């Protein structure tokens, strides 16, 4: 019986492949996942790992968004709400400013 593969969840894909190859697991299949209507860019990180019949299946995702622009800042309602909370926590009154505009 073959030894269990090392756990590479959380590793960057290249590192995961190297660790698995060193342990004798060279048959590695990858499947990429990403949010709907938005792709993700490298570097790719391992999110899930499954072993069956001498083969390793890895689910990977990119760490950068195609729409993140420079600096990786997010936009949209959730990002604006978070920014308001941060401003409010620092005593800046960000919520009052937002309400004044609406």
Residue 55 has a pLDDT of: 95
Domain span at residue 45 reads 1-67
Same domain? For 19 and 36 the reply is: yes
Number of domains, the chain: 2
Residue 44 has a pLDDT of: 97
Same domain? For 76 and 63 the reply is: no
Which residues in the chain show pLDDT less than 50?
A: 70-72, 93-102
pLDDT single digits (tens) 37-53:
888 999 999 999 999 98
End-to-end CA distance of the chain: 66
Q: In sequence order, which residues have a C-beta less than 8 Å from that of residue 100 and are 6 or more positions away? A: none
pTM, entire model: 0.63
Same domain? For 11 and 32 the reply is: yes
Same domain? For 63 and 86 the reply is: no
Residue 102 has a pLDDT of: 47
Cβ of 60: how many Cβ atoms within 10 Å?
Answer: 21
Same domain? For 60 and 89 the reply is: no
Same domain? For 76 and 59 the reply is: no
């Amino acid at each position: 019986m073959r030894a269990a593969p090392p756990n590479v969840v959380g590793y960057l894909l290249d590192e995961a492949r190297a660790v698995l190859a060193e342990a004798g697991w060279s048959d590695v299949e990858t499947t990429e996942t990403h949010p709907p209507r938005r792709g993700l860019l490298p570097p790719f990180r391992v999110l899930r790992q499954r072993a069956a019949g001498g083969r390793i299946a890895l689910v990977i995702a990119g760490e950068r968004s195609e729409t993140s622009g420079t600096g990786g800042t997010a936009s949209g309602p959730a990002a604006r709400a978070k920014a308001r909370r941060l401003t409010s926590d620092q005593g800046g009154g960000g919520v009052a400013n937002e309400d004044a505009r609406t």
